[in-house]
Amino acid sequence: MLHIGDKVVYPMHGAGVISSIETCNVLGEGKSYYVLQMPLGDMKVMIPADNVEHIGLRDVISESRVDEVRDVLGDEPERLLGTWNRRYHTNLERLKTGDICDAAAVTRNLVVQERERRISAGERRLLDLARQIVVSELVYACDKSPAEVEGWMDDILAGNEGK
């Protein structure tokens, strides 16, 4: 059971805080929804309370796992072969896992790939999404602002130049 104030991660959306629990009338039936307030873009997401188990909602990582994320961001990038479409789907599947280290790896790989050659518009949107997912969770795990987390990530990713 989730409570107002809980910090959770919603796969493919990122981390947020449960700001309220609302009941909405859907097809004549009252349904409970958790309202998730996201730290980026002032976005709110409504999650059906009876579907929480199936969508992969999880707690934000502990501060002790932040080093693991840093290591993934700083690791040697993986070179995905094939067309941009195949790379896109491989990266998308990784993001769907909801694991922050997978999102960090997708971010790292696409940042390095973009430096070497222009990435497709689809891959660019995927990079933006992956960054948003990582930043939103680290905001809560590190208790920092989005700008501070983005700067920290950019410094680590800059160390991958030439790799």
What's the confidence (pLDDT) of residue 162?
57
CATH of the domain at 42: 2.40.10.170
DSSP state of 3: -
Encode pLDDT of 39-55 as tens digits.
887 788 999 998 888 88
Give the count of domains, the chain: 2
What's the confidence (pLDDT) of residue 103?
97
Q: What distance in Å separates the CA atoms of residue 126 and residue 136, rounded to the nearest whole number?
A: 15
Based on the domain organization, do 154 and 129 belong to the same domain? yes
Based on the domain organization, do 95 and 40 belong to the same domain? no
Encode pLDDT of 98-135 as tens digits.
999 999 999 999 999 898 888 889 999 999 999 999 99
Based on the domain organization, do 115 and 37 belong to the same domain? no
Based on the domain organization, do 154 and 142 belong to the same domain? yes
Q: Which residues span the domain enclosing 14?
A: 7-59
Q: What distance in Å separates the CA atoms of residue 25 and residue 5, rounded to the nearest whole number?
A: 24
- Please check whether residue 93 lies inside any domain of the structure: yes
- Please check whether residue 86 lies inside any domain of the structure: yes
What's the confidence (pLDDT) of residue 132?
94
Give the pLDDT mean for 89-105. 95
A 10 A CB-CB count for 101 gives: 17
Tell me the C-alpha to C-alpha distance, in Å, between residue 29 and each of 25, 32, 54, 127, 137: 5, 10, 21, 39, 33
A 10 A CB-CB count for 110 gives: 23
Based on the domain organization, do 13 and 92 belong to the same domain? no
Based on the domain organization, do 33 and 111 belong to the same domain? no
- Please check whether residue 2 lies inside any domain of the structure: no
The structure tokens listed for 34 are 């958790």
Percent of the residues in the chain that have a pLDDT greater than 70, as a whole number: 98
Q: What distance in Å separates the CA atoms of residue 142 and residue 144, rounded to the nearest whole number?
A: 5
Domain end marker among 15, 44, 59 = 59
Q: Looking at this protein, which amino acid is placed at residue 103?
A: A
The structure tokens listed for 94 are 């990784």
- Please check whether residue 84 lies inside any domain of the structure: yes
CATH of the domain at 144: 1.20.58.1290
Domain end marker among 59, 74, 102 = 59
80 against 35, higher pLDDT: 35
Q: What distance in Å separates the CA atoms of residue 114 and residue 108, rounded to the nearest whole number?
A: 10
